[in-house]
């Protein structure tokens, strides 16, 4: 085998390995994490980090397509509020504005698509609103 043929074969093998490894990622490899687990009652800003659990690195440019906020932790799932996505303060951080009408336990439910992955990342995050 010539050097050129060997080089091409090695490049093809490495490319195939890289593509196979990337395809093994799963939406279970990602999770949303609250930056703070408390917020003030009223108009609140909620920052959420999306991380790759395999590397603990933030994941930028995900597309958030589902968001809901309710008081399910206090057995009031029907008590919902408006939630609006805001511009990201930094890569991998997703910011939301919500009106927390009562002090107590709140649940933020998110659904997102991560660039280059199939499937949906879904998490339900619980935090507390304080007076």
Computed on alpha carbons and rounded to an integer, the radius of gyration of the chain in Å comes to 20
- What predicted TM-score, i.e. pTM, was given to this entire model? 0.79
- The pLDDT of residue 26: 86
CA distance 9 to 18: 14
In the three-class reduction of DSSP (H, G, I as helix; E, B as strand; rest coil), residue 109 is classed as strand
- The pLDDT of residue 23: 47
Tell me the mean pLDDT per 10 residues along the chain, length 131. Answer: 54 48 72 97 98 96 97 97 96 98 98 94 98 93
CA distance 71 to 63: 25
């Amino acid at each position: 085998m010539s050097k050129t043929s060997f080089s091409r074969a090695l490049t093809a093998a490495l490319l195939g390995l890289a593509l196979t490894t990337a395809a093994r990622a799963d939406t279970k490899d990602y999770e949303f994490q609250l930056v703070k687990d408390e917020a003030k009652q009223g108009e609140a800003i909620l920052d959420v980090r999306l991380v790759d659990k395999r590397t603990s690195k933030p994941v930028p440019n995900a597309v958030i397509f589902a968001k809901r906020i309710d008081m399910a932790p206090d057995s009031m799932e029907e008590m919902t509020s408006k939630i609006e996505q805001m511009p990201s303060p930094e890569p991998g951080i997703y910011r939301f504005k919500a009106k927390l009408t009562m002090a107590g336990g709140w649940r933020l439910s998110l659904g997102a698509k991560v660039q280059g992955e199939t499937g949906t990342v879904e998490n339900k995050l619980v935090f507390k609103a304080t007076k």
